[in-house]
Chain A
């Protein structure tokens, strides 16, 4: 399910079956060109992975719009906001909440987070259409979904 009219109608009808929330965490940073490009690229690939995850598990996973923040943030206060976000979004409904990120800083502050953090190691992808990239994305999606399914 996504944050879309049609999906939300279905969500409210079949709420009891959709017990998992996934939130991509997307950092922004415009200080240098190379960093900005790298982050934008990671944004694209994280979005593709989340989309694929949602496509395969539509009936049980709600994919939230990304949580976007400034990368030079203070991760302690950012964690507090993020926790507020997840609890407000969830309203005690979701049994499992997963945060998807490439940002290692969250890994360092994992203990402050109320939800499960899935930290992926980043790679640079130049061309999303190659078979190799598709394989890599599939592989990532399979691993993440295995992890998520172990919670179900």
Chain B
């Protein structure tokens, strides 16, 4: 019994060794790809997924939209993907970086995008609205607040990372 179990047929052996070689090849292909995915400039700044977006001195109390481009490697397809954020300083001088992606169906919202609501974010697609802190205005299509970006300030530059859920519960300006 045990003798039979341990016997490795020629075919099995080939299979094993080829899988091994294949796996090794995949790994050696993937390693550089992963390395390229991380911009060397930003790597130096420490955060794995943080991207330099803007000089902190440019941030005002009025939300402004900043764009940045990330090289995204999707299996064998590399593309430049543009991201945006609405960034401002709140009344406590704290930086707030909101994702522009509408929680309804994903259009990009604009600060003061509707002249009737100059103190809100407006979604042009189906008239969704959000207060300045990102909370969705009741009775408009979105059913959640705009996501927040994780951020970090280093040497006067704002770095943005992944989005996370926005904890705001109450509206107001």
Give the interface of A toward B (CB within 8 A).
Answer: 10, 14, 17-18, 52, 55-60, 134, 145, 149
Contacts and interface: CB of A to CB of B under 8 A. Distances in A.
Interface residues of B, number: 12
11 contacts: A17-B105, A57-B125, A58-B107, A58-B108, A59-B105, A59-B106, A59-B123, A59-B126, A60-B105, A60-B107, A60-B126
A55 B105 contact: no
Contact of A17 (B108, B124, B126): B126
Contacts of A18: 105
Contacts of B125: 17, 57, 59-60
Given A17-B125, A59-B126, A149-B124, A10 B82 contact: no
Contacts of B137: none
B124 A58 contact: no
A114 to B, nearest CB: 24
B52 to A, nearest CB: 15
B104 interface: yes
Given A10-B105, A14-B105, A57 B126 contact: no
B102 interface: yes
